[in-house]
Structure 1
Amino acid sequence: EKNALDHRAHQVERLLHRGRQPEKNDAADAEAIAEAASRPTMRFVAVKTEEQQARSMIFRTRDLLVRQRTQLINALRGDIAEHGVVAPQGPAHVKRLADSIEDEESLIQPIVRDVGRLYLQQIAIYSEKIAELEKTLHREAARSETTARLQTMPGIGPITAIAIETYAPPLETFRRGRDFAAWLGLVPLQKSTGGKQKLGRTSKMGQRDIRRLLIVGAMAVVRWAARKGPPEGSWLARMLARKPPMLVAIALANKMARSAWAMLTKRENYRDPAVASA
């Protein structure tokens, strides 16, 4: 990237030397580019490999299909609710809607049944395509040592591991785990002044795909701990005793990001803190 910036700055300087006027802001751009390229602490965006770009396309396509399926499910729920059939949110409850539409003894109008079947057909098509893409992501996750190592951590599955490997730069570029968590937007906003430390809400100013998946995985761990009971005396047990579950999940996602940085930079699998301290 540094060579490309130097080349761009040289092009603009040559245009100015010949008396030609470049596009507006080119002179200011060239000056900023040359200054940035000369700074030893400047960090540039890592170039993704072709394999990473291919995985990114699979991941984003699956994400798009999931959103479109959710739109169809919500539209069907809203329409059927006006005819007396109420079902909870989520694809797991589509069968309840389908059973109500196919129930000949219900009072649903024939036109509503026909349109409802059209919705169900489209939802089934989306579900099939999503399942195919997830199988592809699982195969890709099984091929990589990095994704296999990440999956040793509770709350990280194949899709989250693929997202970290695809969207995150080499974790060695971050000096510590907190820098990686900050890059994801999982740290509090700094509002410190006058020597007083003031931390605000979670910034959410980072890579949203990895952040969302880490929070979803952390929420699954929190729900499992709330149902089965966390290890006695563990960090999770102390947090659940005094904080709301969603806040604990975000804090756990922050710890998961730091642990992922440590695992990948040190090339070690996940070690349970409770077991390690025993």
Structure 2
Amino acid sequence: MSTIHILGIDLGKHCFHAVAHNYAGKEVLRKKYNRSQLLKFLANLETTTVAFEACGGAHWLARKCADFGHQVQLIPPQYVKPYVKGNKNDFIDAAAIAEAASRPSMRFVAVKSEEAQVIAVIHRIRDGFIKERTACMSRIGAILLEFGLSLPTGHAKMKMLFQWIADQRYQTLPQNLMHELSLIHAHYLYLNEQIKIQDTKLKQLAEQHELAKLLKTVPGIGDLTATLCVADVSAASNFSNGRNMSAWLGLVPRQYSTGGRTKLLGVSKRGNKHLRTLFIHGARAVLSRLETTGKVFGQWLVDLRASKPFNVVIVALANKLARIAWAVLYHRQAFKTASQS
């Protein structure tokens, strides 16, 4: 196996298809493994480059490969697709991964640490509870509407659901329906408690993690944004500058240029949707305090707010916040306001 230069692996839940290329690009291995067989094979394989798509289970396997001494390359799936030849099957996918990894201009995904993945899991579970709570509220509203009651939106009315129903003297509800509503309302209250628990976990993580504490010195970045940055960005050195990180978040204009003419469209909205949303909300929070906006970010933001639509300014400020976050992570220094610098 000393002739292996790049080993491409197509990941699966139970089966893993591996194709290896030598230094001349010729295929020297094509084999299917289960999970335990793959780990044993990688442990006995001489140090080489192992490549696979950045998908479910990829970061765990990447850490295992690194423990075995291999160089790991995670490739975004959309960058592998052009190298798939002919019809699709698992071995052809593995060969495409090996070929894509050999390209000098290929872009790779940084391997996440176990701690970063745990933080991301906390965020994911919290998002799931929020979506489930929203569905629960909509379900209660729809049930009441079927019986002639239009429940006002918002958590204030939802928490006091039965008091609100009691105040609607012109309409009485069947006793069996009230029982069903109590069940679903109890589930709504349970979801509220679970979201608070997740928030507490993230707050504690933000207070304990050095980089998260530095990120929180940036106006508009709180516990959620700081911890998710730590989890998803992994290392600021993965980006050459702040603009690259902002582009990765989808906060820069989409370009469609040809014939020497530059054409910029709306923001690309590519990349990490969750983190981009948090930066947008952070920018909205900053702009809600007009009295401190100029002191913190300088006159450019005040002038932009006076000349551009509100949502355009929000995206521009979110772009700025992402660049500042990169600088804080890269230099490991707290943010200084325009008046301090």
Query: Given the superposition, is the C-alpha separation of residues 29 and 57 from structure 1 closer, same or farther in structure 2, using an over 3 Å criterion?
Result: closer
1:220 aligns with 2:285: yes
The range that moved more, 79-88 or 255-264, is 79-88
Out of 206, 215, 219, the position equivalent to 2:271 is: 206
Equivalent pairs: percent with the same residue?
Answer: 37
Corresponding residue of 1:20: none
Of 233-242 and 48-57, the range deviating more from structure 2: 233-242
Alignment partner, residue 63 of structure 1: 127
Please give the secondary structure, in 2, of the residue aligned with 1:221: helix
2:49 corresponds to 1:49: no
1:91 counterpart = 2:155: yes
Residue 231 (str. 1) matches residue 294 (str. 2): yes
Structure 2: gaps of 5 or more residues: 10-17, 31-87
C-alpha contact 1:101 1:116 (8 A) present in aligned 2: no
Q: Following TM superposition, by how much is the alpha carbon of 1:258 offset from its aligned partner in structure 2, in angstroms? A: 0.7
Q: Structure 1 residues 25 and 122 mapped into 2: Cα distance closer, same or farther (>3 Å)?
A: closer
Corresponding residue number in structure 1 for 2:336: 271
Higher relative contact order (CA 8 A, sep 6+): 1
Say which SS state the counterpart of residue 231 (structure 1) adopts.
helix
The equivalent residue for 1:13 is: 27
Q: Deviations over 1:26-52 (max 9, x none)?
A: 46853x444444444434222211111
Match of 2:224 among 135, 138, 159: 159
Q: Is the 8 A contact 2:7 2:98 kept in 1?
A: no
Which SS does the other structure have where 2:259 is aligned?
coil
Aligned match for 1:74, one of 134, 138, 160: 138
Aligned length in residues: 265
Structure number having the greater helix percentage:
1
Distance verdict in 2 for CA 1:54–1:25, change over 3 Å: closer
* 1:88-140 CA distance string (max 9 Å, x none): 3x434423544312437452314444333333211100000111111111111
Question: Once superposed, what is the RMSD of the aligned Cα atoms?
Answer: 2.8
Q: CA shift at 1:5, angstroms?
A: 3.9
Q: Secondary structure at the match of 1:124?
A: helix
Shift of residue 186, structure 1, vs aligned partner: 0.9
Offset at 1:253? Answer: 0.9
Structure 1 unpaired stretches of 5+: 17-22
- State TM-score, norm by structure 1: 0.83
Q: Which amino acid aligns with 1:77?
A: G
Relative to structure 1, the CA distance from residue 78 to residue 272 in structure 2 (aligned partners, 3 Å threshold; closer, same or farther) is: farther
Q: Decide whether aligned partners of structure 1 residues 191 and 97 sit closer, same or farther in structure 2, where only a CA change above 3 A counts.
A: same
- Corresponding residue of 1:196: 261
- When normalised by structure 2's length, the TM-score is 0.69
Distance in 2 (alpha carbons) for counterparts of 1:176 and 1:245: 27
Report if aligned partners of 1:98, 1:120 keep a CA contact under 8 Å in 2.
no
Instruction: Compare 212-221 and 237-246 and name the one that shifted more.
Output: 237-246
Q: Is contact 2:212-2:226 (8 Å) kept?
A: yes
